[in-house]
Homo-oligomer: A and B are copies of this chain.
Amino acid sequence: MPRILPAQPGMSLADVDTPALILDLDAFENNLQKLRESIAGRKIMLRPHAKSHKCPQIALRQIALGAVGVCCQKVSEAEAMVEGGVPDVLIANEVVGKTKLRRLAALATQAKITVCADDAGNVKDIDAAAREFGVVIDVLVEVNVGANRCGVDPGEPALKIAQAIAACKNLRYAGLQAYQGGAQHLRKVEERRAAIDAAIGSVEKTLALIEKAGLPRGKVTGAGTGTYLFEATSQVYDELQVGSYIFMDADYAKNDWTESGIPRFEHSLFVWTTVMSRTRPDIALVDAGLKASSIDSGMPRVADFPQAEFQKASDEHGVIKMNGSHGFALGDKIRLIPGHCDPTVNLYDHYVCVRSGKVEALWPIAARGAVW
């Protein structure tokens, strides 16, 4: 459905209508470089998570800077990436059900596709779909390394799934998916390091069994923005699945980074919003509520007025306590730092890409809403 868009290339940021999702290109490009430099010279592959950005334009820039491909969480997300020109996608998640598996196998005729499994019956279903489409699909065993979400336990249970994969004609056992999602937002560096040390132990135990059973080692893939240097220096992980480093949301900014070795990534993603009601003293209503900035990991932060506090979001309104700040006259536009970047991105159709106060491009969020 064509719509009047909030921005056009060439427009000044001040003229961009609100709410809009702003990508500060300088900060974004700095983040790409900072990550690259932080792992330079290490024997580690980079496979950024596209669930954060859902945008082939960003994926292709990551690949141009050395990434081997991207991760996705959903088949529909992977379809959007392949359609956008990404040649290598890991679905870092289980794919269950015949309809989805046929789409997965069809996609594997177009690009290099890898998927995870944690169930022997599901492994057979993936094999059947691969056979139907005449492809060989790489499958990783997802190991529960502490996040307690999907994945089999380390050790014997993981070995059994690996053997089930290796026994299938149209599958290739490709290694271990070992993402410790529960570690990424632990605030203290030592907590995050301890969680990853435990994950590394689980992986080593599993690898030993797998090698003993005569299976190829495969790769070990995982890690997120909060911990990736620990995995990168582990000698055990081969591939990093960092996502949020390109944007840096308010929740990640609450982590302690000192002595983690991880660079301070910059906030590059903002919700551009207008002050739309000023009838009460020290309170400004803005036109960005929870349909404009996800609040699952806390309220957005007001970017340029540190004493102002975004207190409350309803569907289409945000309540800001100004705490004496200026810059909140009716009609003023301000930048919010989203509490959580991934679900915020998923609310928009475009990044409004800005450099030096001017709109440089609109990048479609091609996998927006791609949940199935």
Contacts and interface: CB of A to CB of B under 8 A. Distances in A.
A126 interface: no
Interface stretch (A58-66, A132-140, A146-154, A234-242): A146-154
Given A279-B119, A372-B6, A372-B18, A149 B314 contact: yes
Interface stretch (A169-177, A203-211, A254-262, A270-278): A270-278
A99 interface: yes
A357 interface: no
A360 interface: no
A100 B150 contact: no
Interface in A356-370: 364, 366, 368-370
A349 B369 contact: yes
B347 A371 contact: yes
A287 B371 CA distance: 8
Contact of A347 (B95, B148, B369): B369
B51 A97 contact: no
A331 B119 CA distance: 11
Copy count, this protein chain:
2
Contact of A17 (B279, B330, B331, B372): B372
A275 B96 CA distance: 8
Contact of A150 (B122, B276, B294, B348): B276
Given A150-B285, A150-B317, A315-B343, A96 B280 contact: no
A97 B20 contact: no
B149 A51 contact: no
Contact of A51 (B151, B276, B315): B315
A339 to B, nearest CB: 11
Interface in A296-320: 296, 313-317, 319
Contact of A316 (B15, B73, B121): B73
A69 interface: no
A93 B330 contact: no
A119 B346 CA distance: 33
Contacts of A274: 96-97
A290 interface: yes
A97 B51 CA distance: 34
A231 interface: no
Where chain A touches its partner, the secondary structure class is loop
Contacts of A51: 315-316
A311 B290 CA distance: 21
Interface in A101-126: 103, 118-119, 121-122
A149 B317 contact: yes
The residue in A6, A15, A103, A371 that gathers the most chain B C-beta atoms within 10 A of its C-beta is: A371
B369 A94 contact: no
A88 interface: no
Contact of A118 (B279, B291, B349): B279
Interface of A: 1, 3-4, 6, 15, 17-20, 51, 73-74, 76, 79-80, 83, 93-97, 99-100, 103, 118-119, 121-122, 144, 148-153, 157, 181, 274-280, 285, 287-288, 290-292, 294-296, 313-317, 319, 330-331, 342-343, 346-349, 364, 366, 368-372
Shortest 7 CB-CB contacts between residues of A and residues of B = A150-B277, A73-B316, A96-B276, A6-B372, A19-B371, A17-B99, A17-B372
20 contacts: A6-B372, A17-B97, A17-B99, A17-B372, A51-B315, A51-B316, A73-B315, A74-B287, A94-B276, A96-B274, A97-B274, A119-B278, A119-B330, A149-B317, A150-B285, A151-B277, A288-B371, A295-B296, A296-B296, A316-B371
